[in-house]
Amino acid sequence: MSAFISLKDVSVSFPIYGAGAASLKKTLAASVTGGRFGKETGVTVVQALSHINLELKAGDRLGLVGHNGAGKSTLLRTLAGVYEPTTGQFVRQGSVTSLIDPALGIEADATGMENIMLRGLVMGLSKREIDRLTPGIVEFSGLGEYINMPVRTYSTGMMMRLAFSISTSVQADILLMDEWLSVGDAEFTEKAERRMREVVSGSGILVLASHSLKLIAKECTKVIHLAHGSIVDTDVSIEKLLQDEQDAARP
């Protein structure tokens, strides 16, 4: 089965209840989402994505660029299935690995071992598959006896080791990334980087959102530009982006 993604006139909106008369709330929400506000039966609605048309097939490496709040993360979460389109048609074929926020869903009161099972089930794995993968996940994480302790006793670096080890334990057809993952543990960084390269090269489709144009140029073959939840350019020149970045950096 070849990896495939299709979005036809997809929009995503979020109702904000109780915010109709609160201009401060509107201002704060707009700064976070970058979306547009509207009214539906007296409820304030943030239009996070608006009329997105996109088609990706195996071999595509797509970069998402745009200012903070442009809709990049919302689009990634829609592709991952976290958000459902309010309108439009979304078709996705192939397994998905989401590195949007690897630590999302880690249960602090559960042990590392229990989190492996929980996250594996959320990723759509069977118990048998999780049991097969668990020894490799534990070894790669390097947590030793801490794997049987509650995650709330972990340092941030240890928690990220666990989350990263679980999230990258399965090679998926579609890889979704919000910036290049930095595990933040010097001892773990080198093998994590190798693992990342393996996961990226083995994926059928890569969708990467980043503020680093050098990273986009290195990893992606096509780029789309988002602004206020809409695609404003589907034929972005990577060379021009890099040149513009260099020009902006000159005194």
Q: What is the per-residue DSSP string for 95-120? A: -EEEES-TTTT--TTSBHHHHHHHHH
pLDDT of residue 38: 58
Q: pLDDT tens digits, residue range 149-183? A: 999 999 988 998 999 999 999 988 999 999 887 77
Average pLDDT over residues 59-75: 94
- Report the C-alpha gap between 12 and 157 in whole angstroms: 34
The per-residue pLDDT for range 94-135, each reduced to its tens digit, is: 999 888 887 777 899 999 999 999 999 888 889 999 999 999
Mean pLDDT of the region 184-201: 86
- pLDDT score, position 31: 46
148 falls in which pLDDT band (50, 70, 90)?
very high
Residue 23 scores a pLDDT above 90:
no
Give the DSSP H/E element, type plus range, for residue 80: helix 72-80
Q: What is the pLDDT of residues 227-248, one digit of tens each?
A: 999 999 887 787 777 777 777 7
Which pLDDT value is given to residue 181? 76
177-180, long-range: CB < 8 A, 24+ apart: 177/76, 177/99, 177/100, 177/206, 177/207, 177/208, 177/209, 177/210, 178/72, 178/73, 178/76, 178/99, 178/100, 178/101, 178/209, 178/210, 179/209, 179/210, 179/211, 179/212, 180/208, 180/210, 180/212, 180/215
Enter the pTM of the model.
Answer: 0.82
Q: What pLDDT was estimated at residue 1?
A: 66
pLDDT bucket at 25, cuts 50 / 70 / 90: low
Task: Tell me what the pLDDT averaged over the chain comes to.
Answer: 87
Q: For domain 4-95+208-249, give the fold.
A: Rossmann fold (3.40.50)
How much is the pLDDT for 45?
82
**What does the buried/exposed string (b/e) look like for 34-63 if buried means 16 or more CB atoms within 10 Å of the residue's CB?**
bbeeeeeeeebbbbbbbebebebeeebbbb
